[in-house]
């Protein structure tokens, strides 16, 4: 095999290994999230939910200017955040009146709530919007934002 062919082959192998590593890594993170959600304390009532939001706000030092609402929903998603920040026509990042965290009524749990609140507090939603390149977005999301939110949701570590 010629040198050029060898180089191309080894570059190809490197990319393939990285792609395999990345997908294994993602599965690992998803597994931690799943285990944490299944084993953490369940949130059953609206009062409990509001109480927990209040406590976590305090724990994360969320300023008064950030409105965080939470509610149960019946959909498929485990947890999601609505009222996301958006970029207006002039390219400015605007934050709507507040964030709404929706937790699945059947599975609502402390771990998911903490995870989503960490995303809000660390401005992951705003940062993500600034990134246009899909590859960079994927890498920043999985290697920076998700581990940070998982660390707080699952292990109570504020990174
Ligand atoms: Zn997340």
117 C-alpha vs ligand 1 centroid, how far in Å? 9
Most confident of 24-38, 97-111, 124-138: 24-38
| Residue 73 φ then ψ, to 5° | -140, 165
pLDDT for 79: 73
**Could you report the per-residue pLDDT of 30-64, keeping only the tens digit for each?**
999 999 999 999 999 999 999 999 999 999 999 98
Tell me the CA–centroid distance for residue 16 and ligand 1, in Å.
26
Q: What is the pTM of this model?
A: 0.85
Share of the chain above pLDDT 90, in %: 66
- C-alpha triplet 49, 53, 55: angle, nearest 5°: 115
* pLDDT score at 81: 74
Quote the CA–CA distance of 94 and 121 in Å, as a whole number: 15
DSSP E strands in 2-159: the ranges are 68-73, 79-82, 86-87, 93-94, 99-104
d(CA 94, CA 88): 7
pLDDT for 85 equals 62
CA–centroid distance, 25 to ligand 1, in Å, is: 14
Is the pLDDT assigned to residue 84 strictly greater than 60?
Answer: no
CA of 9 to the centre of ligand 1 (A): 36
């Amino acid at each position: 095999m010629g040198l050029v062919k060898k180089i191309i082959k080894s570059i190809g192998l490197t990319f393939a290994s990285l792609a395999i590593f990345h997908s294994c890594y993602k599965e690992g993170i998803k597994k931690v999230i799943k285990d944490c959600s299944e084993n953490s304390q369940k949130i059953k009532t609206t009062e409990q939910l509001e109480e927990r939001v209040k406590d976590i706000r305090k724990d994360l030092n969320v300023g008064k200017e950030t409105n965080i609402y939470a509610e149960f929903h019946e959909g498929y998603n485990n947890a999601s955040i609505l009222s996301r920040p958006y970029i207006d026509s002039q390219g400015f990042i605007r934050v709507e009146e507040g964030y709404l965290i929706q937790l699945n009524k059947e599975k609502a749990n402390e771990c998911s709530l903490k995870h989503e609140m960490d995303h809000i507090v660390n401005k992951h939603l705003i940062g993500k919007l600034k990134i246009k390149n899909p590859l960079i977005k994927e890498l920043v999301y999985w290697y920076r934002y998700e581990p940070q939110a998982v660390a707080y949701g699952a292990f109570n570590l504020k990174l």
